[in-house]
Amino acid sequence: KALPVVDRARRVVGIVTLADFLRGASLDLHADWATRLRQLIRPTPSTHSDKAEVVGQIMSRQVQVASADRPLADLVPLFAATGHHHIPIVGDEARLVGILTQSDLVAALARVDRL
């Protein structure tokens, strides 16, 4: 449901979600979301287009990341306060190593609770 966007050095520069795709898709509110999404990803035959053509045009640039060694308990407030459902995880030199979802966090906390 969300994909981190990285630069050539694998550093997170943004995140793209289904909501980002739909915002970039046609504003024809009478079309269903699948039609709008198809219109967005269909190549434009002309040299000019008003629609987004690259992920950088629709991604959210404000992205919360967490380091791979950060305690799980520290991430609960991040999910709760921001409403995010995904947090990219970075390792050495702030390079992407994975993505943590709310479901991942709940499952991990449930395992810890059983110990």
Angstrom distance (rounded) from CA 18 to CA 44: 21
- Provide DSSP, 40-84: HHSPPSSS--SS--SGGGTSBS----EETTS-HHHHHHHHHHH--
Which of 49, 48, 46, 24 has its CA nearest to residue 37? 24
Instruction: Say yes or no to pLDDT of 27 above 90.
Output: no
Give the total number of structural domains in the chain. Answer: 1
The mean per-residue pLDDT over the stretch 5-33 comes to 81
Angstrom distance (rounded) from CA 2 to CA 55: 12
Looking at residue 100, its pLDDT comes to 95
Looking at residue 115, its pLDDT comes to 64
Q: Are 97 and 88 in contact (CB under 8 A)?
A: no
- Tell me the residue range of the domain where 64 lies: 2-114
Instruction: Say yes or no to pLDDT of 26 above 60.
Output: no
Looking at residue 47, its pLDDT comes to 62
pLDDT: is 52 or 67 the higher one? 67
Q: Can you give the pTM of this predicted structure?
A: 0.74
Which residue's structure tokens are 């449901």? Answer: 1
Looking at residue 72, its pLDDT comes to 87
Q: Tell me the pLDDT band of 1, cut-offs 50, 70 and 90.
A: confident
CATH number at residue 13: 3.10.580.10
The whole-chain average pLDDT of the chain stands at 83
Note the pLDDT tens digit of each residue in 106-115. 898 888 777 6
